[in-house]
């Protein structure tokens, strides 16, 4: 009897293992909305391009889906006590898809090239020189300590491609078919249609299970969903919130609600009356029911902001919410000398962020309840960005809605450019002309403190200060509503708004 039970148990376990074991082979098709603008690390500026590239060309360090910095092409790193020297120890035995070896020279060539790129100014602002110490060691020499550097090395735009490819690239030309070290190799890119990647059989780490992965461009959200339902897609990004419950109820489909690192806010023109008065700014924060907006307008996707950065970002410290209290808002308006409210304009994009126009309308309605008559103005995105980049005396707007994705997952990226006085538009991205010496000091300090505990404490004080000073109407952080077929296993839906197929497999 006992033997029988043991045998049955063995059969069950073997069955279970066979059921759970990843199956190799097959092609997975992932649908997304926008064609990558480029696959050259120096040229890319968008999340979709970063998502495709990261399968082919790997970064030096990895930001895991639970947002920890892990080794990738760099096995280990050290930061000197004064924070001015960073040593990167490169993984040995790694080869690019064209057979070139990964070494310190290859990394230096890539980083030097990247320093001329779109995002270099944000990612490596304090790096003076980059030296090759030995075959597998690279040194960053900084002119001032820059604590976020390690987090910035996980950014998917800092992807390492073959030095041979860079050397052979004609001057002024971009890389069209990236050659990296990743688990997939570039195969084909039909513009506006799809990018196809095939398995790298010589990958240095755990090899991919899939034979190939296709990233298919489908601009219409509704069409993407139809393709998922008919099985032409295995996974998709951006399910329309209205369809969420239907997807969740459909057999064979899975709905995934994943946080995103993007914070959505309405900034006040800090230099323009009446927004110069903190009571007015706080009143507006009390007047708007953010909980209701997230629940009703966004269908529960994302969450109400409790700081200027979202909870997953390093340095986040949650604050006491401005609970919806129109009475308190009216009192504050009265105290500030506006018992009957005032008129103002609220600029907002349409179709850029999830339900952005509907959110602006909801805010307008809440403000009307306390007597603030906000006129809504929307513009097409490129015109909007240009409008919001005027220098201070010309910028006549009162309030504007914008989002900021803190993709490095480090508070510096999410705060410095938006609140430091040196970043006033048009030079930087401080478009609301916020300026406060305490905030500037804390932002500068957090860049040079290398001890994580100290940095956290600095950001906590900064976020508390910013919360009370209310330079924004703090709204919400976005969520990603993705969906996949149940046959698609082990896809990673990353908070950076990527779907990663590195370890994915098809259960069919």
Positions that interact with another protein (CB under 8 A): 35, 37-38, 40, 43, 45-46, 118-119, 121-122, 173-174, 176, 190-193, 216-220, 222-223, 226-227, 229-230, 232, 379-387, 389, 402, 404, 417, 423, 425-429
Nearer to another protein, 134 or 193 (CB): 193
CA–CA distances in Å: residue 476 to residues 346, 420, 473: 17, 22, 10
Cβ burial 221-247 (10 Å sphere, 16+ → b, else e) = beebbebbbeeebbbbbbbbbebbeeb
Q: List beta partners, residue 253.
A: 485
Give min distance, CB of 277 to another protein, in A: 28
Q: What is the DSSP string of 394-443?
A: G---SEEEEEEE-TT-BHHHHHHHHH-GGGBTTTSSBTT----HHHHHHH
CA–CA distances in Å: residue 299 to residues 302, 303, 424, 440, 493: 9, 10, 35, 37, 19
Give min distance, CB of 325 to another protein, in A: 32
Number of Cβ within a 10 Å radius of residue 68: 10
**Could you give the residue ranges of the DSSP H alpha helices within 21-170?**
47-56, 104-114, 120-123, 149-152, 163-168
Phi, psi of 203 (to 5 degrees): -60, 140
Give min distance, CB of 8 to another protein, in A: 41
Give min distance, CB of 348 to another protein, in A: 14
Give the list of residues 6+ apart from residue 282 with CB closer than 8 angstroms, or none: 322, 332, 470
Give min distance, CB of 163 to another protein, in A: 21
Nearer to another protein, 16 or 427 (CB): 427
Strands 343-349, 399-405: pairing is: parallel
CA–CA distances in Å: residue 400 to residues 266, 308, 485: 5, 15, 38
Radius of gyration, alpha carbons of the chain: 25
Give min distance, CB of 454 to another protein, in A: 26
CA–CA distances in Å: residue 291 to residues 260, 301, 303, 305, 505: 18, 11, 8, 10, 38
First to last CA, the chain: 36
Give min distance, CB of 488 to another protein, in A: 18
Beta-strand runs (E) in 278-372: 303-304, 343-349
Q: List beta partners, residue 499.
A: 493
**Among candidate residues 504, 499, 486, the one with its CA nearest the CA of residue 255:** 486
Give min distance, CB of 179 to another protein, in A: 17
Give min distance, CB of 417 to another protein, in A: 7
Give min distance, CB of 176 to another protein, in A: 8
> In the block, which residue shows the tokens 């069209």?
176
């Amino acid at each position: 009897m006992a033997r029988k039970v043991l045998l049955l148990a063995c059969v069950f376990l073997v069955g279970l293992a066979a059921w759970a074991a990843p199956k190799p082979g097959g092609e997975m098709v992932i649908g997304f909305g926008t064609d990558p603008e480029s696959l050259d690390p120096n040229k890319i500026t968008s999340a979709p391009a970063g998502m495709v590239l990261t399968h082919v060309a790997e970064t030096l360090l990895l930001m895991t889906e639970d947002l920890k910095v892990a080794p990738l092409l760099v096995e280990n790193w050290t930061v000197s006590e004064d924070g001015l020297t960073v040593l990167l120890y490169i993984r040995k035995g790694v080869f690019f898809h064209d057979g070139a070896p990964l070494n310190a020279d290859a990394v230096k060539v890539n980083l030097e090239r990247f320093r001329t790129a779109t995002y270099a100014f944000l990612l490596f602002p304090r790096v003076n020189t980059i030296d090759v110490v030995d075959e597998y060691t690279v040194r960053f020499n900084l002119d001032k300590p820059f604590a976020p550097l390690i987090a910035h090395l996980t950014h998917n735009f800092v992807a390492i491609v073959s030095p041979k490819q860079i050397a052979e690239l004609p001057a002024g030309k971009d890389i069209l078919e990236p050659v990296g070290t990743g688990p997939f190799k570039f195969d084909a890119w039909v513009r506006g249609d799809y990018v196809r990647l095939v398995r790298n059989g010589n990958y240095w780490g755990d090899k991919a299970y899939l034979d190939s992965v296709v990233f298919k461009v489908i601009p219409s959200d509704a069409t993407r969903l139809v393709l998922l339902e008919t099985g032409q897609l295995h996974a998709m990004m951006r399910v329309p919130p209205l369809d969420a419950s239907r997807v969740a109820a459909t057999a064979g489909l899975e709905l995934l609600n994943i946080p995103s690192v993007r914070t959505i806010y309405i900034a006040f023109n800090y230099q323009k009356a009446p927004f110069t008065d903190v009571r007015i700014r706080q009143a507006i924060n009390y007047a708007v029911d953010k909980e209701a907006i997230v629940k009703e307008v966004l269908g529960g996707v994302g969450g109400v902001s409790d700081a200027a950065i979202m909870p997953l970002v390093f340095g986040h410290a949650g604050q006491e919410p401005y609970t919806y209290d129109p009475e308190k808002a009216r009192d504050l308006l009265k105290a500030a000398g506006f018992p009957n409210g005032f008129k103002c304009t609220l600029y907002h994009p349409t179709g850029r962020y999830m339900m952005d126009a509907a959110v602006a309308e909801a805010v307008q309605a809440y403000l009307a309840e306390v007597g603030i008559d906000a006129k809504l103005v929307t513009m097409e995105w490129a015109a909007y960005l240009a409008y919001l980049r005027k220098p201070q005396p010309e910028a006549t707007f009162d309030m504007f809605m914008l989002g900021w994705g803190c993709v490095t997952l480090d508070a510096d990226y999410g705060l410095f450019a938006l609140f430091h006085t040196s970043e006033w538009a048009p030079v930087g991205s401080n478009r609301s002309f916020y300026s406060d010496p305490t905030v500037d000091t804390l932002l500068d300090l957090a860049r040079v403190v290398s001890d994580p505990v100290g940095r956290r404490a600095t950001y906590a004080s900064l976020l508390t200060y910013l919360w009370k000073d209310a330079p924004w109407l703090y709204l919400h952080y976005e969520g990603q509503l993705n969906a996949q077929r149940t046959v698609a296993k082990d896809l990673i839906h990353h908070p950076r708004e990527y779907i990663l197929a590195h370890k994915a497999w098809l259960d069919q």
